[in-house]
Amino acid sequence: MKWNDLITKYTKTIKGVVPIVTPIIFVLACITFYFMNNALLGSFLLIIFIVFNITNYVVKETEEDNIAKITERVEQEIKNNIMNLISPVALIRESGEIFWCNKEFEKLTENESPIGVNVVSIARGLNLSRLLSCDKELHQKIKILDSLYKIYASKLEKLNSDEDIYIVYFNDISNFKNMENTKESIMLIEVDNLSEVLEGTEEANRPMLIADIEKCINAYAQRLKAMITKYDTNKYVMSVQDKFIDEEINNKFKVLEEISKIDRGNKFEVTLSIGVGRGGTCPLENNKFAITAKELALGRGGDQAVIKNNEQIRFFGGNTREIEKRTRVRARIVSHSIKELIYESSNVLIMGHKNIDMDCFGSAVGMSSVVKQLGKLCNIILGNDTYAIDYYLNKLKEDKNYDNLFISREKAYDLINEKTLLMIVDVHNNGYILDVDIVEKIQRKIIIDHHRRSPEIVEGALLNYIEVYASSTSEMVTELIQYMVQKPNLKAIEAEGLLAGIFMDTKGFSFKSGVRTFEAASFLRGLGADTVEIKKMFMDNMDDYLLIADTIRSAEVKDGIAIAVAPGRIKKGFMAAKAADELLNIAGINVCFVLAQINSDIIISGRSSGEVNVQVILEAIGGGGHMNMAGAQLNNISLENAKKILKDAIKKHLKAGE
């Protein structure tokens, strides 16, 4: 033991012994002097002892009295400070009953005494059990009178043997409730068709066109009081306060309309794709949201703004026709990637959407032919809803070369292994895929589709080839085939399937038919595709024709918008699409919708001549598609309720367009 420790120990011992030993020494000294016949000295010592003890007692009592007074004063000061705290504070029992509070808390009850009142009756909506957990992280925000409070509690010692007491704090955050508006959102802007616009503008006007575009975007940033940086020839990033994003939502992102008015002799309107990320825990998370939102905007054809607030996604704009991209660079790059994935796979499965049509089936047959030419096993998964493709499917089944090509969903499960590649064609929305369980079971998958990108896209795909400018998936597959093998050895019947898919989705080359559409059709025609056979695939029998006529007869037409309901005898969903196509051929009808009840489901097909975006209307009720052609399916609902929902969606869209 150290010397300092020894000294400290003995000092404490001496201090404890002195108060006991001193009186004993005085008494023994007095007795000794009396026995030595020295009574005077003994009496003197006795008097000193008595005076010493009286003095010591008086001093001790005075010190204890002073300490008590000081303690009482400190306690009173603490009590006064608690009473005068700017934040309301209360003591409650476990039942929530208030038995003490400060002056600020009394103000919450508007001059009525809160003593004996349950705290929940003052802070209405307060969760008492959550409050008594005493976790500050689980604070609750409750509005009392005109103020917003953050409420939490701490547990104190027991009031008696049976009950605990809690101190409840009410922190006024009214001055901070608008702090959300000062948070920064990330906005990504891309001039999505800059190269096409510049190509369609005279060279002398191009510098002025670029200057006008930059001026418009920078003026937009100044209007939002945003920080803006240009990080590519046609891309910008902005940091914007949330309150300005709310204003843009109310204004429907008018910048989309403003930039389209730029005119320097350009043949095409300038369009923007805007992605906004907000609601994240940090700027990095908001930036990730903004990237996803902009990808959605681009995947849906551009000319729109998409806001991603955590899991919530909102769309604005998207009323401009997609501009066909002349270059095939991406098709060539994608084709090589797909070819490498096929080589790395043990087998390939191809699957499309429910209620399969010729675009979906034709593209599946075309891809299966190339996969076989690359030396891999391939199968096409089909459901029971094959009525729309029966003519072509029966022709294929007559050819022995296609034996075992088509399999059921049940058989597909037996062919899946770790190296199986799944090709999803003509669909990317989880809600419309033939079998979602197969998609989830297979790890390696690619998507080839031409529909506007949906938020419910299949996750985890190795490659997403979604081109909304393409007329059809069959057109996209026709281009891929030409790059995947040097000399595509497609049979005439396979080429007919692809050409039929293009013919169907373009409505006989009258919709979305660009230069590349006709180039693809020319290539397929050169492989021996017979246009007469293709026409036979879409011929109706007498019963179907009469069904379409009855559907058209039921149409209600108002302001160029027609809504028709198919007769109850309809059994095939694609007949609604055929009826919608026929309705749009009638003069005075610019937009049409056909509803058909198939079992417990309501099928809706929408068509537009271009003035109204049917994709946006049907997307609002769970559907999707293109600006001119779209569809939706409502489950377990009556025909009348479905019609009402559709009318509400049309009314809401037209009102927003105004």
User: Are the C-beta atoms of residues 639 and 565 closer than 8 Å to each other?
Assistant: yes
Q: Is 435 annotated among the ligand-binding residues?
A: no
Q: Residue range 159-173: average pLDDT?
A: 77
DSSP string for 242-300:
HHHHHHHHHTT-THHHHHHT--SS-SS---EEEEEEES-SSHHHHHHHHHHHHHHHHHT
What angle in degrees, to the nearest 10, is found between the helix axes of 329-343 and 473-484? 70
**Continuous H helices in 398-514:** 409-414, 436-441, 473-484, 492-505
Residue 332: what pLDDT? 86
User: Are the C-beta atoms of residues 383 and 356 closer than 8 Å to each other?
Assistant: yes
Strands (E), 194-257: 227-232, 235-241
**From its phi and psi, is residue 149 left (phi > 0), alpha (psi between -120 and 50) or beta?**
beta
Indicate the SS3 state at residue 119.
Answer: helix
Residue 239 has pLDDT above 90, yes or no: yes
Rg (C-alpha) for the chain, rounded Å, is 41
Q: Exposed e or buried b for every residue in 23-32, given b needs 16+ CB within 10 A? A: eeebeeebee
Percent of the chain surpassing pLDDT 70: 84
For the chain, which residues make up each domain, given as ranges? Answer: 3-82, 89-176, 180-317, 329-537, 542-657
Cα–Cα distance, 599 to 192 (Å, whole number): 43
Minimum mean pLDDT range among 47-61, 262-276, 344-358, 379-393 = 47-61
Q: Is 601 annotated among the ligand-binding residues?
A: no
Determine the Cα angle at 224 with ends 218 and 229, to 5°.
45
Q: Residue range 172-199: average pLDDT?
A: 78
| Cα separations in angstroms, 220 against 235, 266, 448, 653 | 14, 22, 36, 25
Residue 31 has pLDDT above 80, yes or no: no
**How would you class 173 by CB atoms within 10 Å of its CB: exposed for 0-12, middle for 13-18, buried for 19 or more?**
middle
**From its phi and psi, is residue 460 left (phi > 0), alpha (psi between -120 and 50) or beta?**
left
Residue 227: what pLDDT? 93
Residue 247: what pLDDT? 87
Which contacts of 130-134 are long-range, i.e. CB under 8 A and separated by 24 or more positions?
131/166, 131/168, 132/94, 132/166, 134/166
21's enclosing H/E stretch is: helix 3-35
Q: How confident is the model at residue 6 (pLDDT cuts 50, 70, 90)?
A: low
Give the best-scoring range by mean pLDDT among 21-25, 373-377, 504-508.
373-377
Cα–Cα distance, 188 to 237 (Å, whole number): 5
588's enclosing H/E stretch is: none
149 forms bridges with which residues in the sheet? Answer: 142, 172
Residue 74: what pLDDT? 44
Cα–Cα distance, 345 to 343 (Å, whole number): 6
Residue 82: what pLDDT? 53
Any idea which architecture 329-537 has in CATH? Alpha-Beta Complex (3.90)
Minimum mean pLDDT range among 42-46, 75-79, 241-245, 420-424 = 75-79
* Nearest residue to 423 (alpha-carbon basis) of 471, 490, 369, 468: 369
Cα–Cα distance, 644 to 638 (Å, whole number): 10
Report pLDDT digits (tens) over 532-555: 888 888 887 788 888 889 999 999
Q: Is 505 annotated among the ligand-binding residues?
A: yes
Contacts of residue 259, defined as CB under 8 A and 6 or more positions apart, other chains included, come to: 213, 216, 217, 270, 271, 272
Report pLDDT digits (tens) over 262-288: 998 888 889 999 999 998 878 888 999
**For the domain 89-176, what is the CATH superfamily, name and number?**
PAS domain (3.30.450.20)
Topology (CATH) of 542-657: Diaminopimelate Epimerase; Chain A, domain 1 (3.10.310)
| Cα separations in angstroms, 244 against 6, 42, 43 | 73, 98, 97
Determine the Cα angle at 90 with ends 88 and 94, to 5°.
145
User: Are the C-beta atoms of residues 278 and 289 closer than 8 Å to each other?
Assistant: yes
Q: First-to-last CA distance in the chain?
A: 92
Does domain 180-317 fall under CATH 3.30.2130.10? My reply is: no
Q: Residue range 113-131: average pLDDT?
A: 86
Cα–Cα distance, 356 to 392 (Å, whole number): 12
Q: Residue range 100-128: average pLDDT?
A: 84
Q: Is 353 annotated among the ligand-binding residues?
A: yes
**Continuous H helices in 300-416:** 329-343, 358-373, 390-397, 409-414
User: Are the C-beta atoms of residues 304 and 316 closer than 8 Å to each other?
Assistant: yes
Kindly state the DSSP code that residue 458 receives in the 8-state scheme.
P
Structure tokens at 223: 């209007």
Indicate the SS3 state at residue 54.
Answer: helix
